[in-house]
Structure 1
Amino acid sequence: MRTSSLWVILALLGGCGSGAPPQPMPEQTPSLSAELVEELVRDPERLKEVRRLCREDWQAISEELCIASVQATRRRFMGDGGARYTSGPIELSEPGRPTLKE
C-alpha cells in the first residue's frame, strides 16, 4: 500500500513542470543619459520638481527621467565616490593609537 501511494505521489509531482520555455528577464534599467544625470545634479530645483512628478504620476513621465532623477539624488547625497573626510595620511603616534596629521 505504501509503495503504491509513493508512486502515485511521484507521478503527480513529475507532471507539475511547466511546458512553456522560461521567459527572458526584461532589462532592469534602460540606458541612462549621463548628461541628463549631470544636468539634474547641477540644478537642485529641477531635480526636486522631477522627483515630485515621479512620485505623483510616474507613468506620465518617462521612465528614463525618473531613473535619472534617482541617480542624481544619489550622486548629490553620496558624492562622486572620492574620500573627502581625510585630508591626508594617518600617522601613528603610539602603537595602535591613530591620530590625524594636521
Structure 2
Amino acid sequence: MKKIIPFLLVAALTACGQSETPLNATNSKARIPTVEELAANPEHLKELRLQCKTDRPKLGDTICDRVAEATRKRFYGDRDTPYTPPKQSPKF
C-alpha cells in the first residue's frame, strides 16, 4: 500500500500534460486598446465582449479585463453626477 500511493501520484501528474498558454498581446505583439478607447467605440466594444464570452482563452485575460472595465465605465459613467433623492418618498 505504501508503494502504490506514490506510484498513483506520479501516474496522475504524468497524465496531466502541460496546458496551452493563451495567445495574448505579449505573444502576438498586437496592440491592445486602452479602456478609454474601448469606451469611446461601442461597436468595437460589443464585438470584443462577444469574443471574450465565446473564446476568452484565445484573446487572453488582459484584453478581456479591459473590455469588462470599459463596459463598466460606459454603464456607470464618470460618477460626476451626484445622487439626488426624490422629493417624496415612495409609498409601499
Give the TM-score category using the shorter length: 0.5 to 0.7
TM-score (norm 1): 0.48
Residue type of the partner of 2:63? L
CA distance in 1, matches of 2:79, 2:62: 23
Q: TM-score, normalised by structure 2?
A: 0.53
Counterpart of 1:63, as a letter, is: D
Query: What's the Cα RMSD here?
Result: 2.2
Tell me which residue corresponds to 1:46: 44
- Highest Rg: 1 or 2? 1
Higher relative contact order (CA 8 A, sep 6+): 2
Where does the alignment leave 5 or more consecutive residues of structure 1 unmatched?
A: 1-34, 87-97
**Residue pairs, 1:78-97, within 5 angstroms:** 78-83=76-81
Judging by fraction of residues, say which structure has more helix. Answer: 2
| Corresponding residue pairs, total | 55
Shift >4 Å, 4+ stretches: none
